[in-house]
Every structure is written in structure tokens, then in C-alpha cells.
Amino acid sequence: MRVLVTGGTGFVGSQLVTALVERGDSVRVLRRASSSLVVLEGLPVEHVVGDILDPSAAARAVEGCDWVFHVAGLSSYWRARREEIYRVNVEGTRIVIDACLRAGVRRVVHTSSVGAIGIPPEGTVGDEDTTFDRTSAAFAYADSKRLAEGEVRKAVERGLPAVIVNPGVVIGPGDHYLISGSIVVEISRRRLPAVPPGGICTADVEAVIQGHIAAARYGRVGDRYILGGENLTYQQIAATVAEIAGKPTPRRTIPRQALPLLGAFVGIVNRVSSRPPAVSGEQIRLSARNVFFDSGKAVRELGYPLLPFRGAAEKAFCWYREHGYVI
């Protein structure tokens, strides 16, 4: 099987490339010239150097491929300008998807996010049919991923055999860009005095990769599948990581009513600072909510494994320690 992975030098993409190579597939990666290759060292993959925003590069990359996993996207949204997020995540998806249509690719798996589904109503757990909400519509990353899914669905109507997967907050080894892995690194480096009151849907990268491959094999064309795991509060996450790292467990919770003001302050600091932001005001405001999701559809239809957060955090911590991110 000849397979293309866009975003193959990133966290999820590189882990997917490794799994596909181990399956015996012939793997091609579309990457920028500036991309770090640290996570692909020693892997027998073909490289196409280019950008997903370049139609000619996308056409070269998909040519002759049976499967395409479109994993590329701008995930570190707090480090990017709003217009850049939309350009990469929406226009880039359209360009890749159009190239797949023209090339007659047999199966496309588009990596979206639970953010594209929206924030479930308070006290509920979201699923694939949750209504996209106004808060998420104002959140550039979530809105861009929703619009990117729209590009995929338009292509499905034109005959593209595409499936959408929506990972939660992915944790595991190899996240060298510190996208979601920053949770593990920050708690491992220092004692946190307090954590937000909300929670998130976590996902072990190993399960997410299995979910991608299963979606290519068994997913229903045009459908989306949540690839999550444990729904945990930030307090539970911090306690688990602190125990793994041998750090004191944070005992205090930031008052919910303080988060809007704190988020506004961080937003102002980020706008005037010359340093890349470690967190955005949007992230802080959203951390008041329990953004939980049910992966039951993926379990039933794809055989998706629900793996515990602790195992993912342990593997991530060990990888970061081996690579010098934590001591």
C-alpha cells in the first residue's frame, strides 16, 4: 500500500508514519524544508518537500497513493496569528483534498479535532452530533477545524472517499513541538500552585494512531469519529503527572470567576510581548469548562481502544526526560 502522510514530521503524523512503516506500507511524507526530522530518523520513508498551501506540491505528494492521511495543520494556535490559522487549516485542507480528488485516491482520512465539534452543554458529554456552539465559533482554532471539515464534506459530495477523525488532547512520546505535551513538561518542571477548575478529553497517541488506521480501513465515508480516552479534570491530570514526575500535587483550584480577567490579562501580555506565548487568553478562559467527549462510536465501529491517561503520561514523561526537556 502506498500511503501519504501530510504533517508527517509532527507529533501525531510522525507516530502514524512509524506505525504505517511497521505495517509494511510504502510511506511518503509531505513536509516543509524547515521541518525537524528528529522523529523520523532511521525510517525508510519518501520525502516530498513542499507546503500544503502549494497546489503543485500537494499534487506531487498524492500522485500514485492509495491512502492519504491529512494530518498537517496549525495546532499551536496560541503561537500563530488568527489569519494564519484559517489559511493553513482551511485553505490547506481544501488544496490537499482537491489534489486527492484529481488523483483518484482510494481513501482519505482527515485529522480534525474535538474542537471542531464544539463545547458540549454544561454537565453533558459531547459526541459526533454535538451542536457547534457560539463560544467555539469565536475560537479561531476550533472554527478553522470546523470549516476544514466542511471542505472535506464538500469533496465527499463530489465522490471523495474520505473519513474524519476527531482526536481529543493527545498525550504520548514524540511531541517535540510541545503541543499538548506541554501539560506534562510544565507540571514536571515546577511546582504548580493551582490549576483551572475545568477538564478535557485526553487521548493516548497510541490509540489515536490505531484509530486513524482503523478509520482508513473501516470508517464510513463522510462520517466523523471521536478518538478520545479518559475525561479528566485538570486537577486529576496534574495529580497524575506530578506523581509520575515526583513533584508535589497542586492542591488549589483557580476560582472560576477569576479566569475571564486572567485570560484578558494574558491576551494583552501576548500582544505586546516579543516572545512566543506559552498560553493564550482563549485557553485560560476555556479552562473553566469541562470539555468532555464520548468515543463510543469509534469503539463500536472501528474497534478503537480506550487507553488510560496515566500510561500515556508515563510514556510522554520518559520521552521528555530522555530528550532533555525535563530532568
Are 188 and 76 in contact by the 8 Å Cβ rule? The answer is: no
Are 177 and 197 in contact by the 8 Å Cβ rule? The answer is: no
Annotated active-site residue 320? The verdict is no
From 141, 225, 234, 320, the catalytic residue: 141
Residues labelled as active-site residues: 141
